[in-house]
């Protein structure tokens, strides 16, 4: 009640004489600016949905109508491809803005790690990659199921997109979940592709960071997938890391907290 309605950053340091120094920094304005920026991005992304749907609809109709010269069809296909790219970008920006909202509360519940893996494998559709489960613990984790599915889908998609072995054979992906015994379950998504050079590791989870821009664009990437993955995993109390080197494939790993058996599924979030 120092100054009602204002937001402070508080730092405290003990003094040798037993007292303490308390430093209060008024961050009301910075918080308000950040919030306005987030809301702006969310609104713009949302508003772009309708016109994009319209452009897609009319482009598809044009292609189906037979009214354009066959030579012009590839141009409309390019329009469609770019509309798809823009839709993915606006959807990803919307997810980022929503995930970052301070009043957001993830809906966490207890769910078996193996169920999360099974659902991700079932939802994964790729006719050009071979996916195997190399072990999945039934230990329950406390997590927002939709968020975890989004992360797993993104990692599997990346492995299929960028994980083609150097001999040109189809990408092979292994997914696993193991109970590490320290209160966390470790999820792993491994591929046997070209791998990622060390110099990129520290920046890979940043927004719009890509190792190979042309390749990412070509495959329809937005450069936001791993940034979203990190936000979602951290929001669920875990961490996400990468183990990879050039020529050795890549393994993305993330952890989620084990759901305590004493806590019921519905009340899990409050208890955490």
Residue ranges that bind ligand ADP, judged by CB under 6 A: 154, 158-159, 162-163, 191, 193, 196, 204, 210-212, 216, 221-226, 250
Closest to ligand ADP by CB, 225 vs 238, is 225
The CB-of-242 to ligand ADP minimum distance in angstroms stands at 8
Residues 6 or more apart whose CB falls under 8 angstroms from that of 200 comprise 209, 211
Q: Which of 192, 199, 204, 197 is nearest to 248 (CA)?
A: 192
The CB-of-263 to ligand ADP minimum distance in angstroms stands at 33
Closest to ligand ADP by CB, 98 vs 215, is 215
Task: Give me the DSSP letters along 4-17.
Answer: TT--EEEEEEE-TT
Distance CA 150, CA 146 (A): 6
The CB-of-13 to ligand ADP minimum distance in angstroms stands at 39
Closest to ligand ADP by CB, 99 vs 250, is 250
φ, ψ (nearest 5 deg) of residue 112: -65, 135
Q: Distance between alpha carbon 202 and the CA centroid of its chain, in Å?
A: 16
With contact defined as beta carbons under 8 Å apart, do 133 and 175 qualify? yes
**Cα-trace Rg, the chain:** 23
The CB-of-151 to ligand ADP minimum distance in angstroms stands at 11
Closest to ligand ADP by CB, 143 vs 229, is 229
The CB-of-170 to ligand ADP minimum distance in angstroms stands at 14
Q: Would you state the structure tokens that stand for residue 124, as one six-digit string?
A: 């994964």
φ, ψ (nearest 5 deg) of residue 18: 95, -10
Closest to ligand ADP by CB, 140 vs 163, is 163
Closest to ligand ADP by CB, 96 vs 111, is 96
The CB-of-6 to ligand ADP minimum distance in angstroms stands at 37
With contact defined as beta carbons under 8 Å apart, do 188 and 266 qualify? no
């Amino acid at each position: 009640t120092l100054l009602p309605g204002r937001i402070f950053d508080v730092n405290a340091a003990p003094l040798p004489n037993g007292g303490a120094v308390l430093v209060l920094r008024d961050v009301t304005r910075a918080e308000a600016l950040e919030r306005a920026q987030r809301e702006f991005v969310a609104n713009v992304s949302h508003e772009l949905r309708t016109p994009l749907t319209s452009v897609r609809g009319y482009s598809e109709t044009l292609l189906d109508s037979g009214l354009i010269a066959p030579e012009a069809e590839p141009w409309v296909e390019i329009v469609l491809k770019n509309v798809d790219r823009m839709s993915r970008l606006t959807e990803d920006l919307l997810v980022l803005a929503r995930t970052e909202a301070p009043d957001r509360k993830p809906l966490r519940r207890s769910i078996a790690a193996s169920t999360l893996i099974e659902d991700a494998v079932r939802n994964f559709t790729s006719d050009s990659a071979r996916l195997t489960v190399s072990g999945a613990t039934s230990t329950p984790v406390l997590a927002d199921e939709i968020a975890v599915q989004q992360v797993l889908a993104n990692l599997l998609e990346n492995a299929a997109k960028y994980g083609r072995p150097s001999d040109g054979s189809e990408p092979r992906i292994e997914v696993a979940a193991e109970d590490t015994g320290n209160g966390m379950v470790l999820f792993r998504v491994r591929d046997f592709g070209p791998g990622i050079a060390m110099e990129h590791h520290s920046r890979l989870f940043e927004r719009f960071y890509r190792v190979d821009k042309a390749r990412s664009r070509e495959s329809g990437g937005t450069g936001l997938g791993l940034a979203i993955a990190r936000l979602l995993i951290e929001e669920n109390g875990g961490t996400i890391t990468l183990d990879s080197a050039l020529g050795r494939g890549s393994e993305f790993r993330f952890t989620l907290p084990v759901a305590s058996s004493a806590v019921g599924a519905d009340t899990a979030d409050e208890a955490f």
